[in-house]
Homo-oligomer: A and B are copies of this chain.
């Protein structure tokens, strides 16, 4: 089992290198030489998939005019409600810890732009607003864009009687294996024993087959400073000992390292047979990240801080990572994420979207990954917690099956839209913000 996983890891990397095994890792027509030169990257294949439509407009024969868009607030928490001219409603919950920093963009930019538009033009609307609002670009803007897109997809799913994911693609992943990306950011400051025990408890609850630990200080400063001397090395070793050879283990650097230290830590991860190695360098150190990638055999993952299609196009064409991780919120929603997934597929790479803790993140994630091509086997999961930005549990009821992890596997919800009913009493605690 242990070696099988190790073989699989090498296999991912080798497939990307050698252009083999097309059935499992779809490759580009032009081949997939791994150590591609920057100037020689083949962008034409990626540009072709970027042109493909995402939203299945054919599901909606008549215009669906977005008549009203409301942002509701209760202290730090935000809810988006959209209503069509014909009375269809869609609801989403804002990002749990960024919405409060950028909600004026929702009011000043997104409401005026989306109001009165035909929701069937969502591809084009998302493209225009994300690419032209240059001075407002960034994660905080994309978080608001994702919020409105999720509400519109909820509304469209309710109209079509289909889960939101189905509006964007065919269900290629009716269930997914999870990896535990622990919700407690402060994990890094705990003793390795303590932090591993917390993850262990979650692993028991979910029977997850994969767990991700956090290396370094996670400061995005390439400081090479650990929270305690030797803490990361100890954590890497102890995680393998605690979870055993059958557990798939990943490691997230969150920008802790410079190139040299990133490679040193990577070699230790290889020694302990880790599955992937995430973002050891600050996110925008693209060329340095390519150096690290080339120096290691462990597959590398990254991209959660990206907000630009063009940036992913570069990262994918140049195979800076083997596994790309757009965040559904930070990257501005599902339509844009689908474009990244398609590029990853075209380049023989994989995608596993990043997920913040809290809110309804896991719901949006499940809709997305259900239809995601080139999906990595394991997908981030931070428990079925629905804490909102005020620390209140968002009361939701599934429209269909229960949300549960059985043997580390979660079935995609089959209810319409985002698959849940949010308790109207909870929504009532939020007041509409007036422009």
Using a CB–CB cutoff of 8 Å, the interface residues on chain A facing chain B are 38-39, 97-98, 100-105, 108-109, 128, 131-132, 134-141, 219-221, 255, 282-287, 305, 307-308, 310-311, 314, 330
Contacts and interface: CB of A to CB of B under 8 A. Distances in A.
B102 A140 contact: yes
A102 B100 contact: no
Contacts of A131: 220-221, 282
A300 B103 CA distance: 36
A357 to B, nearest CB: 12
A108 B104 contact: no
Given A102-B104, A102-B140, A285 B310 contact: yes
Contacts of A108: 100-101
Nearest to A330: B135
**Which of A97, A136, A305, A311 has the largest number of chain B CB atoms within 10 A?**
A136
B134 A255 contact: yes
A229 to B, nearest CB: 22
Given A39-B38, A140-B140, A141-B140, A134 B102 contact: no
Contacts of A314: 286-287
A199 B80 CA distance: 44
Contacts of A141: 138, 140
**Which of A139, A286, A305 has the largest number of chain B CB atoms within 10 A?**
A139
**Which of A101, A128, A132, A141 has the largest number of chain B CB atoms within 10 A?**
A101
A382 to B, nearest CB: 15
Nearest to A143: B135
Contact of A139 (B104, B128, B135): B135
Contacts of A311: 284
B305 A134 contact: yes
A295 to B, nearest CB: 14
A104 B389 CA distance: 15
A290 to B, nearest CB: 9
27 contacts: A38-B38, A38-B39, A38-B287, A98-B135, A98-B136, A100-B104, A101-B102, A101-B104, A102-B102, A102-B140, A103-B104, A105-B140, A131-B220, A131-B221, A131-B282, A132-B219, A132-B221, A134-B220, A134-B255, A135-B139, A136-B138, A136-B139, A136-B140, A138-B138, A284-B308, A286-B314, A287-B314
